[in-house]
């Protein structure tokens, strides 16, 4: 039974540092990683490419259910195409946030997310990892950071990847995406009641990682 395989969940809003912290914690323990946002982004990219109406819950859920994706190191493939950069575009992130509010889409991606739980362990990052997908995780962490700190991080990420960006637009998009992720009826972004809260606004990634590793080792 894979229910004995340890899971660490790291939830939080966009650009709170979840992805970086999850990868470094996984590396430390030799665990697998689930970037659940990536699955919503892949579904969004499929929908955008097919010009599927974003309010057609059935059609979008079907795309999620039949996602032909695979992962190779840090690269993500949709079919045979390397979409690692394409899924990070702001339009894809915003579309992912919209379709993630549809319960059938969340349901369609449930099994795929569970399948990442493999020995020797998993670090899962997202919005509902500790509340819905892995409610019995061994350690649950909820990362927060101010909108300003997160907009700064997102700005740097986009510029480093060669995209253009404006701080003002990013702050506005982040605030809108936060509101949508937190206020949706289905699996809204919120800390699990047994989650450890960590505000990373003034913290380096290394400090956040050390704190998460410390919590896990103290269990
Ligand atoms: O973490 P991210 O920015 O890559 O996620 C993109 C969108 O996907 C995010 O705005 C909300 C949605 N999402 C979700 O609803 N549940 C998850 N577990 C992960 C992401």
Ligand 1 touching residue 9 (CB < 6 A): no
Q: What is the pLDDT along the chain (219 residues), one digit of tens a residue?
A: 688 999 999 999 988 999 999 999 999 999 999 999 999 999 999 999 999 999 999 999 999 999 999 999 889 999 999 999 999 988 999 899 999 999 999 999 999 999 999 999 999 999 999 999 999 999 999 999 999 999 998 899 889 988 888 999 999 989 998 999 899 999 999 999 999 999 999 899 999 999 999 999 999
Closest CA to ligand 1's atom 20: 37
User: How many A from CA of 40 to the centre of ligand 1?
Assistant: 6
Q: Take atom 9 of ligand 1 and give the residue whose Cα is closest.
A: 97
Contacts of 73 (CB under 8 A, 6+ apart): none
Pocket test for ligand 1, best of 125, 126, 132, 154 (most atoms within 8 A of CB): 126
Domain ranges of the chain: 7-202
Is the CB of residue 17 below 6 angstroms from any atom belonging to ligand 1? no
87 vs 82: CA distance, rounded Å? 10
- State which ligand 1 atom lies nearest to the alpha carbon of 101: 15
Q: Which CA distances in Å does 161 have to 90, 92, 164? A: 12, 15, 9
Strand order in the sheet with 32-35: 32-35, 122-126, 7-11, 139-144, 196-199
Global pTM reads 0.94
Q: Which residue has tokens 């506005």? A: 172
Domain range 7-202, CATH class: alpha beta
Residue nearest to atom 6 of ligand 1 (CA): 37
**C-alpha–C-alpha distance, residues 166 and 155, integer Å:** 7
């Amino acid at each position: 039974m894979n229910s004995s395989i340890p899971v660490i969940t790291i939830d939080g809003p966009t650009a709170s540092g979840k992805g970086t912290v999850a990868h470094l914690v996984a590396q430390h323990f030799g665990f697998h990683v689930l970037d659940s946002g990536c699955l919503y982004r892949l579904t969004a990219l499929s929908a955008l490419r097919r010009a599927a109406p974003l309010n057609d819950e059935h059609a979008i859920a079907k795309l999620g259910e039949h996602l032909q994706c695979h992962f190779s190191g840090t690269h993500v493939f949709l079919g045979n195409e390397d979409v690692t950069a394409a899924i990070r575009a702001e339009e894809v992130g915003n579309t992912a946030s919209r379709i993630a509010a549809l319960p059938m889409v969340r349901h369609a991606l449930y099994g795929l997310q569970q399948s990442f739980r493999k020995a020797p362990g998993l670090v899962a990052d997202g919005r509902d990892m500790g509340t819905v997908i892995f409610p019995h995780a061994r350690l649950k962490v909820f990362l927060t950071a101010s909108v300003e700190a997160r907009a700064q991080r997102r700005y740097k990420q986009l510029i480093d990847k060669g995209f253009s960006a404006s701080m003002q637009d990013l702050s506005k998009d982040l605030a809108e995406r936060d509101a949508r992720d937190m206020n949706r009826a289905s699996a809204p972004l919120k800390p699990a009641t047994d989650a450890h809260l960590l505000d990373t606004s003034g913290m380096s990634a290394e400090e956040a990682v050390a704190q998460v590793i410390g919590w896990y080792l103290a269990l």
